[in-house]
Amino acid sequence: MVIGARQVGKTFTLQEFCANEYGSHTMVNLFERGDIVELYETEKMAQGRFEQLLLLLNINPNNTDHILFVDEVQESEVFISDLKYINEKHPNFNIVTAGSLLGVKLKRFNRHFPVGQVSFLRVYPMTFDEFLIALDASRYVDLIVDSFVNDKPIAGVIHEQLIRYYREYLCVGGMPESVLRFIENGTTLVGFERNILDDIVLAYKNDMNKYVSTDAEALKIASTYDSLPGQMSNVARKFMYNKIQKSARKRTYEIAIDWLIAAQMVAPCFLVSKPDSPLNRYRDTDSFKLYISDIGLLANASRYSLANIVTGKLGEKGGILAESYVAQELVAGGIPLYYWMSKGTAEIDFLLETDDGVIPVEVKAGDNVRSKSLVTYCNKYNPCYAIRVSSKNFGYQNMIKSVPLYAAFCLRDYKVK
């Protein structure tokens, strides 16, 4: 069961998988196959439903080189529930499923979910290393990984080129359609039209009317999402309900936030009272940030100038993008997001729970890496080492591992094995 936000490439990827890995395949979209949805609403027994499905689709259940791909599977809760029967009674029958807002649907599932019978795969926007591969620059990926592992600086001219790629990624983001448009534009931002990003957000908002109780709930979801670019510059360094509207309260908007998280449109990052394992034990559920799932969507929603992004002339706003970008890379690696703040002004952007203990990660947009926050944290908690992500080259000095922004994807391996 593949879960992910709209337009991250779930359907395309599964179509390619089915075509390349099996001798034959059948694809059905439950948005378009009302007869199948109706079948699962009327037939009483799972066995009878499955037999009728095979007849409708002309599938031989004993053909182990055939696979069924059911898209928009959230349209039938009964079908999802019946995956338990299919797996138990027909273990050699191959099936993959996906759907828009599937995460939201599963959060509000009213039937028995086939626990233990379904494997989940979460799909995210393209990460920076995937962006390089798409741009036919995959030769840099192994170089970056090697330099990350060995703390070995990359040649200056290549380092500058990779910083350029990173800044272009901030503009384009990782939504496949946006990346494709960038490539078709000659991998140049001159004349690059960002309206595809507007269209994606519009599609998101159209989805907000699905799986909600009322129109008012959909409006709250949209208002919460629209507040996120401004939330990132909050002095309090946490999500504030009154940034949605002055009278907003947690009890009014917590369902909207839960919806956005389930839809994988945002990722939460929780404040911890103590940077110790397990971090989840020390998280403050009332103090959190919400990161938009794709850095290109954030840059576009914030209306940052493409020219200023590429030239690194965003000032404080550049730090907001850099922090959000690192969050996106960590989320794609399945790493929960946590941050730390002292009672004063010190703040650590991210905490990684690793085999070496909890490792602080500080993010800087430029090469001015002086920071009282990291010094304060290290003096208080004595981590094995710290990680600083910035525009500086690779290196290791004074127990601080320097990681260039373009190598943030390497942090995805920094978790308990």
Assigned domain for 274 exists: yes
pLDDT surpassing 90 at residue 414: no
pLDDT reading at 416 higher than 60:
no
Number of domains in the chain: 2
212 and 103 share one domain? no
Q: Does the structure show a pLDDT above 60 at 262?
A: yes
Residues 198 and 299 in one domain: yes
For 153-187, the pLDDT digits (tens) are: 999 999 999 999 999 999 999 999 999 999 999 99
**Arithmetic mean of pLDDT, 383-406:** 96
Q: Please determine, for residue 237, whether its predicted confidence score (pLDDT) is greater than 90.
A: no
> Does residue 31 sit within a domain?
yes
Residue 34 lies in a domain: yes
Are 311 and 376 in a shared domain?
yes
With a cut of 60, say whether residue 276 has pLDDT above it: yes
The reply to whether 133 falls in a domain is no
Bridge partners for 338 per DSSP = 270
Q: Does one domain contain both 217 and 325?
A: yes
One domain, residues 70 and 176: no
Domain end residue (candidates: 91, 122, 153):
122
Same domain? For 116 and 174 the reply is no
| Domain co-membership, 208 together with 357 | yes
Q: What is the pLDDT of residue 316?
A: 83
| pLDDT tens figures, 72-110 | 999 999 999 999 999 999 999 999 999 888 888 888 777
In terms of domains, do 286 and 390 share one? Answer: yes
In a domain, 315, yes or no: yes
In terms of residue numbers, what domain contains 106? 2-122
417 pLDDT above the threshold of 60: no
Q: Are residues 204 and 64 in the same domain?
A: no
Q: Are residues 116 and 182 in the same domain?
A: no
- Whether residues 111 and 204 share a domain: the answer is no
- CATH for 84: 3.40.50
Single-letter residue type at 143: L
**Phi then psi dihedrals of residue 77, to 5 deg:** -65, -35
Residue 32 lies in a domain: yes
